[in-house]
């Protein structure tokens, strides 16, 4: 009798552990997609545009807002309706040999087409204290959708 009670407890514990792992996995998979930043029902991929920050070593790009809607999380990509959109970005150069990190904020306005992906890229030139940001389409990554320069970029404040 005692051994059947222990066996039942082990099976119940394994079942609960299995359910917990399935729940965690499903939450992780739903969090990996682009964040929806438009009103209305969820649309298929061919009816939305996706905007994402570029991935460049030592230069971090954050999308702070889309069409004056503030983003409170650091999403990797954002889904929007087709049309003209204005994104507010922050670019930070975190290079190990600089005395301080350089950054700038900038508005970029461009027309997003349905079914397309757009990448926001940034380059910061620390010796010239200048930067440039540009948007490319996944359809033609070599062509600029929009390009904008930033002059007199500043170092991030130190909190030492």
Q: Do 137 and 106 share a structural domain?
A: yes
CA angle 140, 143, 149 (to 5 degrees): 140
Top-ranked range on mean pLDDT: pick from 12-21, 95-104, 122-131: 122-131
**Number of structural domains the chain divides into:** 2
Give the whole-number percent of the chain exceeding pLDDT 90: 26
Q: Do 24 and 55 share a structural domain?
A: no
Q: How far apart are CA 10 and CA 39, in angstroms?
A: 47
Q: What is the pLDDT averaged over residues 62-90?
A: 86
Residue 160 inside a domain? The answer is no
Q: Do 126 and 50 share a structural domain?
A: yes
- Who wins on pLDDT, 159 or 68? 68
Q: How many CB atoms neighbour CB 82 within 10 A?
A: 16
Q: What is the pLDDT averaged over residues 6-32?
A: 59
């Amino acid at each position: 009798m005692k051994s059947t009670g222990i066996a039942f407890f082990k099976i119940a514990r394994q079942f609960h552990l299995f359910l917990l792992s399935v729940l965690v996995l499903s939450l992780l998979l739903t969090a990996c997609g682009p964040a929806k930043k438009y009103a209305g029902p969820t649309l298929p991929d061919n009816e939305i545009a996706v905007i994402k920050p570029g991935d460049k070593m030592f230069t971090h790009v954050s999308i702070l807002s889309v069409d004056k809607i503030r983003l409170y999380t650091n999403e990797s990509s954002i889904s929007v309706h087709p049309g003209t959109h204005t994104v507010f970005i922050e670019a930070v150069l975190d290079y190990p040999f600089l005395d301080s990190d350089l950054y700038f904020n900038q508005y970029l306005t461009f027309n997003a087409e349905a079914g397309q992906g757009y990448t926001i890229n940034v380059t910061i030139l620390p010796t010239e204290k200048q930067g440039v940001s540009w948007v490319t389409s996944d359809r033609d990554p070599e062509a600029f959708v929009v390009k904008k320069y930033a002059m007199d970029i500043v170092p991030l404040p130190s909190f030492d």
